[in-house]
Amino acid sequence: MEDVVKVVRALSADTRLRVLKLLHGRDMSSGELQQWLHMPRQTVSYHLSVLQAGGLVRSRRAGRCVVYAAALPAVADAEGKFERFLSRTLDDVN
């Protein structure tokens, strides 16, 4: 149940949905996300940490940068219903 709460929390902010839309299909560094979102580094980092806690984003080190990618959380169903829901939701994000 706690995992579901973390996913719902991660999806509950417009900024986090915008981050997910940017990461849908491509990996980006936090600096790139900051430029696209026109937000301070701390704000972007906060939203990335909430998305990571929900299992919707994963990160990896690439030299001096941290690169982020979209991920499916552990609570995603095997039939792909969650993935389709998320895809349709991100289509509506500006």
**What CATH code is carried by the domain that includes residue 49?**
1.10.10.10
Structure tokens belonging to residue 66 = 């941290």
Higher local confidence (pLDDT), 33 or 7: 33
Q: How many domains, in total, are found in the chain?
A: 1
Above pLDDT 90, what percent of the chain?
Answer: 57
Structure tokens belonging to residue 92 = 């509506």
Question: Model confidence over 34-78: pLDDT tens digits?
Answer: 999 999 999 999 999 999 999 999 999 989 999 999 998 776 776
> Looking at this protein, which amino acid is placed at residue 57?
V
Range of the domain at 43: 2-91
What is the Cα–Cα distance from 63 to 55, expressed in whole angstroms?
23
Question: 94: which DSSP letter?
Answer: -
**Residue 21 scores a pLDDT above 60:** yes
Instruction: Kindly give, in sequence order, each residue whose CB lies less than 8 Å from that of residue 11, ignoring residues fewer than 6 positions away.
Output: 17, 54, 56, 86, 89
Structure tokens belonging to residue 43 = 């704000």
Question: Model confidence over 73-93: pLDDT tens digits?
Answer: 776 776 777 778 778 888 888
